[in-house]
Amino acid sequence: MFETILVLIHSILANLSFRSRRIGFLIKGKERQLIMDGELLMDEMKQANITTRDLLEAVRTTAKCNDLSAVREAFLERDGHISIIPK
């Protein structure tokens, strides 16, 4: 019974967030920019609870390099993964 209620609530919230931008923003949030032109945006990282080590891991796995200066931009996406845009 409890699982059914959770699935129903999830379905309703997913449907609402699909239909309304505001509700989608409230439920899913927004992306956060973590790196701009190779510079760490420490305030954004702190608010998102992302460490420099987390960011370096994403750079190594996504951009296949170990140098933050090779990164133009990095974003913490709404689904929780980190997107890297190399220079």
Sketch the domain layout of the chain as residue ranges.
1-30, 31-87
pTM for the whole thing? 0.73
pLDDT class of 47 with cuts at 50, 70, 90: very high
Is the CB of residue 34 less than 8 Å from the CB of residue 75? yes
As beta bridge partners, residue 23 has: none
Residue 22 CB neighbour total at 10 angstroms = 9
pLDDT class of 46 with cuts at 50, 70, 90: very high
Residue 81 main-chain phi, psi, to 5 deg: -90, 160
Q: Which amino acid is at 79?
A: D
- Reported CATH class of domain 31-87: alpha beta
As beta bridge partners, residue 86 has: 71
Terminal Cα distance for the chain, rounded? 51
Average pLDDT over residues 29-57: 91
- Using the predicted structure, report yes or no on whether residue 2 has a pLDDT greater than 90: no
